[in-house]
Structures are given as C-alpha cells and as structure tokens.
Structure 1
Amino acid sequence: MKLLRDILHQPATLLGAVMLGAWVGMLWPQGAPLFAALSTIYLSLIQVAALPFLVLAVYFGLQRMAAAGEQWRRLGVLALLGLLLMLLCALGGAVLASLGAAGAGLDAGQEASLGRLAMRAEAPPVVSLHAEEAAAGAVAAPPLVPRNLYAVMAFGSAPSVLIGVLLFGAAVAVQRPEASNQLSSILEAVYRGMELAIRSVNIGLPLTAFILAAAATSSAGGESIGLLTGFLLTWYGSVLLCCALVVGLLAWRLKTHPWQVLTALREPVTVCLFAPVGAAALPEFIEALSVRLGFSRGVVELMASICPVFIKTGEALFFAVLAVFVANVYGQPPGAADILLIGFLAAWTALWAIGVPGVKAVLWAGVLQASLGLPLDAMLPVLLMLEVLCEGARNLVSYLAAAALIALGSEAALPQQAVAASAAATAPLLLVLGRRQAWLGAGLLAAALLSVFGAGLGAGLRKMLMLTY
C-alpha cells in the first residue's frame, strides 16, 4: 500500500493527471455538470474527516505544549510574526507582479475575448424583497467567537470552531493529567481514525486531480485559460519563490542541506498543490515537520492547524498579485505608492475576511474599487475563476508560512536524529510461533468462536420458546 501511495503521489503522476483532465475538459465541455458533481463528492468526503482532524490537532497540540512546559507568550510572538509575514508576502507579490507586468500588453483580440468571457459568465442581478437593513445584515460576517460550539461545527465555520477549541483545550491543559487522561485516550483514537481516513481518501489523489482539472477547463474553456497565462505565470512564480525562501529558512535553522528539507516536504507539498482542501495535506505536514525534520510535535500540531485558518498568507499574496494584474488589464500600472497601498490592503482584507464564508474575490473587488477606483464589475467572473484555479497554491503558501513560524519559534533536532528516533519508536512487534503453537492457538480461537455462537444460538432459542409457550 505504501509503494502504491508513493507511486500515485509522485509529482509527475499528478501533473500528468492534471494535464489529461484539462485536455478532456477542453474536448468535452458538455461534461462540466458531471465533473462538478464528482468534485463535490470528493470535497464532501474529505471534509467529513478534515474538520474533526483539524479540531483534534489543535486540542492535542495544546496538551503536548502544556506537558512539555512551553511558554504561552511564545504563541503571541509567533502570531505577531505571522501578521508581519503576511504583510511582507503581500508586498513582495505586488512588487513581483508589477515587475513581471502581469496583464499588460493585451492586444485588441485578447481584450475582446476577455470581455466575451466576462459577458458569458456574468451573474444575474440580485433582487432582494427585504429592506436595506435586512439585506445588509444578511451578508455580515458571522462572529468569530462562537456562542454555540456545536452549531458552528455543524455549519463548518473553521475559524469559529478553532476559537472554541482553543478555549476548551486551554482549559483542559491547565488541569491535572489524571483528570484528563481518559478524555485524551478517547480523543486520541478518534484523532488516529480521522488521520487514517484522510490518508485513505488521498490515495485517489490522481483521480481527484483529473476530475478537478476537467471541471475547471470544461467550465472556463481553453481560451480563458490562455488569456490568463500572464497572471498564472506570475502567481506560480511568486509561490515558487515563497517555497524557496521557506526551504532555505528551514535548512538554515536545521543546519542541513536544502535538498534534505525539500525531500522531507515533498509529499505534503504535492498533496497541498493538487488537493482543493488545505486540510487534506495537514497530516502530511505534521508528520514531515515533526517526524522527519524533528520539530516539537505539539508546536507543529498547533501552528500547522491554526496558522492557515487565521494567518492567511496565501490569500494576501493572491490578492496582491490579482490587484496588479487587474490594474494592468485596465491600463493603469501601479506606481510605488499604489504597490504599498495594495500590499497593506491585501493583508488587511485577508485578515478581515477570516470569518466570511465562500469566495473572497467579490470582497476584494469591492475593496479595490473603493480604494483604487478600478471598475471590476465586468471582471468579477474572471476573478472567481482565478480564485478556484489557484486554491491549492494559496493553501500551500499558508502552510509554508506556518512552517516558517514553527522554524523560528521552536527548537529542532537534526533530521538524522529525528529519523532515527522515529524508526526506534515505530519498530514493528514480531510474534514468532512454532507449528504446534500455531495449531493450538487456531484451535483455541475456533473453540472461543464456537462458544460465542452456541451461546447466542441458545439465547435465541430460549427467547423463542418463551414467546411460544
């Protein structure tokens, strides 16, 4: 099974599945409803296990940090560093997109094609039968601090759920270990079960990548993807630069070669890029950072779970690159002051939109229109399509930012020591039986099963006789 998973999770295999899916989607655009339904099934399957696993990872991260005597003030320092990192990513993305002139230089034919795309995918006007105050209240973001933890878990709002879990986990962490051992044992079994469920769903990642690529290209069309090549090249170039910087930081922190760090992070990075749900890569990231690279398990579980939810570095970077792309499309290349403003606005919007469900491109379009005066009404369908296409890369940037914060705020063992400790901890238990012992054990097992069967049969007959007479 491990060999099969390694083969299926090879980047070449997944890239081939994506290209094949894109080709099928362009050849058969009528299959968009089918591909959309299949992708919805995958999202439903992965979200069944993703949210409970995320909740339990935060809970056990708090318990392990408290058991290891970690200082809670360090979490506040890491949160401030995360906000600074989000701002730096947004500024860097805006500068890189401006240098690459993403969206500039479109000829008349390409502009006409972009206009046709916007007109074809334009959403119908929204008519409300309620008063303006009711309509305004309907789109307000839900409160982050939950009043009912079970209600927000049923709704699926990850930020509100995690705030409730942080409060609950902190309350349990300050109790005596004897008082919470039984609860932790029960939750540990659920935690391992959810991890196994996510890994089982991820085995079919090539099929998932094929379906998602086919759904994207069948609904958008090959012409649309071609028009957005400039943005996609700039965006993935920014993501690649972020990956290189984080790998270099981890290698410097661990005093090892970058190739060793990249090898340890290969599987979680691959899953994160090709899975539309960021939590699908969370078990792989926890294993890579704690087992293969030697960081503290508690810090990794806590930071890798809450950082992609609250410190959305990937969304800040995406908003910044998207703003420069749209400004260049309208023939208004941003200057130095505009780039600085875009960076701050992108970081602020990504932070403010934590509790807003659904797509964020509409919110970012409103911010840009109010601050820079860019008329984005006609570009909204394009922005929504770009948000879907760049989902995996956004999640990857957020997880890499969490890895950078873990490296800055946690001591780590050398990778060789971590691997040796993991191998010693997970050594298999061998049970050697002779032929006579094997036959005796099989006989005892058969006798036990026959005894249970006979007892059940006798109880059933006795109940039948009592009902008859």
Structure 2
Amino acid sequence: MRRYQRWAFHPSTVLGCVLVGGFLGWAAPNVARPWDIIGVVYVDLLKMTVLPFMVSAVIFSLQNLYRDGGAARVFKRVVMIFAGFSLLTAILSTGASLLFRPGGNLAPETRAALGQIVSADGERSNTAMAMYTPDAPLHTSSLKDVIQSLIPQNIFASLANGETLKALVFAMLFGLAAGQVPSRISTGLQQALETIYHACQTLTRWVNLPVPLVLVCMTASQVAVTGLGPLRAMAGFVATFLIICLLLLALAVALISKRAGAPFPDVVAAMREPFALGIATNNSATCMPAMIESMVGPLQFARARVELLVPLSIALLRVGAIAYFVCGTLFIAALYGRALSAADLGVLALVAVLSGFASSGMAGIVTVSLIGTTCHYLALPFEAAFVLLAAVDPICAMGRTAVTVLGSCAAVAAICNPPVKL
C-alpha cells in the first residue's frame, strides 16, 4: 500500500494522468464528457471530512496551547507571517507579470480567437431586463458586513452549509474557552476530539486511493467540454501564471527546507501527497490531513502547533489566489493597452492581498470573479475578460491550489520552532 501511495502521488504520475485525461477528452469528447461525475463524487467525499477534521484539530490544539501558555506568542507570529507572505506574493507576482506581459503584443489571429471565445455564448450572455421595474440598488460590502460574515449565529447551520470561516472562528473561541476548563473535566472532550481527528485522517486516506483515476476522468471531462481552443488562445496568460506558480512553489519548498533543516529533495518528497491532492481536487481544505502528516512525520515539526496552524493558514493565507488576482488584472490591463503607474501597481498589490483574504472558502469561477474587485479599483473593464479567464480556469486552479497548499506549509514552518533532530 505504501508503495502504491508513493506511485500515485508522484509528480510524474500526476502529470501523466493529466496528459492522458487531456488526450482522451480531445479524442473522444462525447465519451469523456460524463466522466465529471467521478470528480464530483471524489471531491464531495473529501469535503465531507474537512469540517469535522478542522474543528477537532483546532479545538484540541488550542486547549493544549492555552495550557502551555504559548497561544499569545503564536498568534503574534501568525499575523506577521501571514501579512508578510501575502505582500511578498503580490510583489513577486507583479514583477513576473510585468516581465512577461501576458495580453500584450498579441498577434492579430490570437486577438481574433479571444474575441470568438468572448462571443461564443451568444444569447446566453445577454441580460434579461424587465420594463417598468425599478433597478435593485447595488450592494456594497461594509466593515459591518465583513465582521458579521465571520460570526456564526448558529454553529450547526454553519457546519451544515460548509461555512469554513465561521466554523473556524467558533473552533478558535471554543478551544480557548475549553483550555480554561480543569483537566479533570475536559479529559473526555480531548479524547473524543482526538478520536474524530484520527478517524477523519483514516477516512481521507481511503478516499485518496483512486487519485490517478480521478485525475484522468476530471481532466478528460473538462477538455471534452471546453476543447483545446481556449488553451491555445490564452497560452501566454496560462504560461505566465504557471511560471509564477513554479517560482512560488520553489520558494516555499526552500523555506521549508531551511526551517526543517532537511535537504531540498527530502522536502519535495515529503510534500508530494499534499501537492498531488491540491492538483487533483482544486480544493486546499481537502489537503489539510495530508499537510499535517507531511509536516509532522517526515519533517518532524511539533504536532500541536501544526494541527492548529494548518487550518488557520488554509482559511486565511490564500497566496495562490493573490498571485492569480495580480496576474489576471495585469493581463486585462495589457489586453486593453492600459499603462499602469507605480501608484496603480501599489493599489493592485494591496487590493489583491485583501481580495485574497476575502477568497477564503471560494473555488473555481467564484475565485475568478474576484478579479473584478481589483479591476474596479484600477478602472479596468472586466466583464468581457471574465469569459476568457473562466475558459482556462481549470488549469489555473491547479496552480492556485498547489501554491496555496505549499505556501501554507511554508508559513507553518516559519511560525513553528525548528524541529530538534535526534
């Protein structure tokens, strides 16, 4: 079984499955199109374990941290590391996007292909309007709305609706409160939470067994639906974003290697499973059990710290989304020939960081739509470009998720004390 898992999550296996799936989707689109049900079931099974796993891990870890007296010190480092990682990601993504300029100097035939993609949906893109009906006022989010979106009025409803941030806030508050309960009373709760935690890990390992098959089916169904046309027309943007992802992944692995005191190849091997899961599922939350085991097992970071920090980083540190917002906005600016000043780039970096925090719990097309926020602050048109970005988002989502997963692991490594090697 261990040999099979090493093969299933090896990067070459992941890449091979994606290529095979792409070929099948291109060669037999009618056959491959219904295969998306396999990916839907697989991701739903993983999501099934995410919230109980996160809640049990956070409450259990905060109990121990509070009793050890280290909670305040850890949270100070969390704020500093998360803010620093987010800003650094925005700056690096801005520099790389300006260097490669996706969307600029496009050939006439490429522009024509992009125009066809924008208008491909025909009447479906038209907006139906009712006459003599007053327009609904535009809703603008205020600080009050943001705060209310974090506080669960009913924790059971939040759990049922899959509201990760609200569940995380409840788990943190409940864990801090449970840490003040005497040990003679809270022992039963600790044992129950530990049982839930390990049961979710076991269930995740079972669900992850058919990962190669899932990759083939998901890729084949996506290519069958969209074809290869969008990828060819948007090749410049996709290539630029993937290069940014590779740069950020290399920096994340290098930081983990330095903090863990382990060779670079050993860290790559340790991060193999969470990396493959991120690409396979496009959902960073489903990678939490694998992230914890990779950080605690081969790299030997303290389990109590890792179990608390991994859910926090997945929920709040969205470095993959930040890189995507920057690259997508600069692509739109180049596509429309808009020159951006240094002040504009500063605004872009700041808004991208804030949008990254706001993207917690979002995936797929919903994440793409947040580029409209950065475009709004720079007075850039977004509606037409949204179709272009949505056409290639399945590929970009793989890079976004992988960067978020490994970037979160790097942040956890930076916050935790280096492991003591025996």
- Tell me, yes or no, whether TM beats 0.5: yes
| Aligned length in residues | 415
1:363 to 365, 370, 385: 370
Superposition pairs of residues 86-235 of structure 1, within 5 angstroms: 86-121=86-121, 123-127=124-128, 132-133=135-136, 136=139, 143-235=149-241
Distance in 1, Cα, partners of 2:248 & 2:362: 26
Q: What displacement does 1:154 show?
A: 0.7
Do the aligned partners of 1:359 and 1:384 also contact (CA within 8 Å) in 2? no
Superposition pairs of residues 5-404 of structure 1, within 5 angstroms: 5-31=5-31, 33-121=33-121, 123-127=124-128, 132-133=135-136, 136=139, 143-354=149-360, 359-368=366-375, 370-404=376-410
Q: What displacement does 1:148 show?
A: 0.5
Do the aligned partners of 1:26 and 1:218 also contact (CA within 8 Å) in 2? yes
Distance in 1, Cα, partners of 2:362 & 2:134: 22
Amino acid at match of 1:124: S
Instruction: Assess, with a 3 A threshold, how the Cα gap between structure 1 residues 163 and 385 changes in structure 2: closer, same or farther.
Output: farther
Distance in 1, Cα, partners of 2:181 & 2:238: 50
Gaps of 5+ in 2: none
Amino acid at match of 1:361: V
Do the aligned partners of 2:321 and 2:359 also contact (CA within 8 Å) in 1? no
Instruction: Assess, with a 3 A threshold, how the Cα gap between structure 1 residues 66 and 90 changes in structure 2: closer, same or farther.
Output: same
Instruction: Assess, with a 3 A threshold, how the Cα gap between structure 1 residues 341 and 192 changes in structure 2: closer, same or farther.
Output: same
Q: Deviations over 1:56-81 (max 9, x none)?
A: 22222213323444242331332232
Moved more, 374-383 or 125-134: 125-134
Q: What displacement does 1:147 show?
A: 0.6
Distance in 1, Cα, partners of 2:332 & 2:138: 29
Distance in 2, Cα, partners of 1:90 & 1:31: 41
Q: Deviations over 1:251-290 (max 9, x none)?
A: 3223342222222222222222332221232112111112
Instruction: Assess, with a 3 A threshold, how the Cα gap between structure 1 residues 152 and 135 changes in structure 2: closer, same or farther.
Output: farther
Structure ID, larger Rg: 1
Q: What displacement does 1:21 show?
A: 0.7
Instruction: Assess, with a 3 A threshold, how the Cα gap between structure 1 residues 57 and 387 changes in structure 2: closer, same or farther.
Output: farther
Distance in 2, Cα, partners of 1:288 & 1:353: 25
Distance in 2, Cα, partners of 1:250 & 1:85: 13
Amino acid at match of 1:110: T
Do the aligned partners of 1:50 and 1:280 also contact (CA within 8 Å) in 2? yes
Percent of paired sites with the same residue? 25
Instruction: Assess, with a 3 A threshold, how the Cα gap between structure 1 residues 304 and 356 changes in structure 2: closer, same or farther.
Output: closer
Instruction: Assess, with a 3 A threshold, how the Cα gap between structure 1 residues 172 and 372 changes in structure 2: closer, same or farther.
Output: same
Instruction: Assess, with a 3 A threshold, how the Cα gap between structure 1 residues 335 and 212 changes in structure 2: closer, same or farther.
Output: farther
Distance in 1, Cα, partners of 2:109 & 2:335: 13
Gaps of 5+ in 1: 418-469
Amino acid at match of 2:200: M
CA RMSD between the two structures: 2.6
Do the aligned partners of 1:308 and 1:395 also contact (CA within 8 Å) in 2? no
Instruction: Assess, with a 3 A threshold, how the Cα gap between structure 1 residues 44 and 403 changes in structure 2: closer, same or farther.
Output: closer
Q: Deviations over 1:348-407 (max 9, x none)?
A: 222234477871322322440x22222222111222234433223222222333323322
Distance in 2, Cα, partners of 1:296 & 1:356: 29
Task: Write out the 4+ residue segments of structure 1 that deviate beyond 6 Å after TM superposition.
Answer: 128-131, 355-358
Distance in 1, Cα, partners of 2:394 & 2:218: 10
SS of 1:378's partner is helix
Distance in 1, Cα, partners of 2:102 & 2:127: 32
Q: What displacement does 1:137 show?
A: 8.7
SS of 1:180's partner is helix
Do the aligned partners of 1:143 and 1:355 also contact (CA within 8 Å) in 2? no
